[in-house]
Amino acid sequence: MDGRNFRVHSDEVTKATYEALERRGVTKQDIADIVLEMQRPYNEGLTIEHCVESVESVLKKRELQHAILVGVEMDELAEQGKLSRPLQQIVGSDEGLFGVDEMIGLGAVLTYGSIAVTTFGHLDKNKIGIIRKLDTKIGGQVHTFLDDLIASIAACASSRIAHRTRDLEEQGKTFEDLKPSETAPENDIDGATT
């Protein structure tokens, strides 16, 4: 079929995104653990369930989905030795000056605002949780793009929570007053990115 005239349904893209993360051994829980570590100091009553909900919300966004699909595909092709020279060597060895992996991760956080950008920078530098594990290259696996993608998802989910906290404060509430299913605000920063 002519790719120019064929529009892939959003459901298919969402499904492919979840499958890509699963193939690479990353769970929503892994990412939510990072979000909890980032946001717990600032959010009374924040639980892992709230963080999982935030990760799920972020994973519905096309900006993130497209970044994940591109990045994971690059890692997988590099792992299979299917990129051309010299890109194969650059991606396969996670060349320090490459930077395209960071830029894809950074680009995907921009719609979640400044907290997402600064959290992404922090995670990129300090490699919290599963990001640290992915950065430790074991058994010929390539995670050149994946570590930045996970940092990106976690940064966006953290930013959502930070903005939600302010809304709650203004209503005299904290996360303690919310069930995880109630964490999606009506008009938050999240709404502008679909």
Q: Which residues bind Mg ion (CB under 5 A)?
A: 101, 144, 147-148
Which residue, 18 or 98, has its beta carbon nearer to Mg ion? 98
Nearest residue to Mg ion, using CB?
101
Q: How far is the CB of 148 from Mg ion (least distance, A)?
A: 5
Which residue, 105 or 160, has its beta carbon nearer to Mg ion? 105
Sign of CA dihedral 49, 105, 190, 117: positive
Which residue, 117 or 184, has its beta carbon nearer to Mg ion? 117
Nearest to 188 by CA among 59, 38, 57: 57
Q: How far is the CB of 58 from Mg ion (least distance, A)?
A: 19
Which residue, 99 or 191, has its beta carbon nearer to Mg ion? 99
| 69 to 15, 38, 128, 172, 174: CA distances (angstroms) | 11, 25, 22, 40, 35
Q: How far is the CB of 51 from Mg ion (least distance, A)?
A: 23
| 23 to 8, 27, 117, 121, 146: CA distances (angstroms) | 21, 10, 27, 26, 11
- At 99, list the tokens: 């930077």
Nearest to 164 by CA among 182, 137, 142, 143: 182
Which residue, 53 or 75, has its beta carbon nearer to Mg ion? 75
Q: How far is the CB of 102 from Mg ion (least distance, A)?
A: 6
126: phi then psi, degrees, rounded to nearest 5: -95, -10
Q: How far is the CB of 193 from Mg ion (least distance, A)?
A: 23
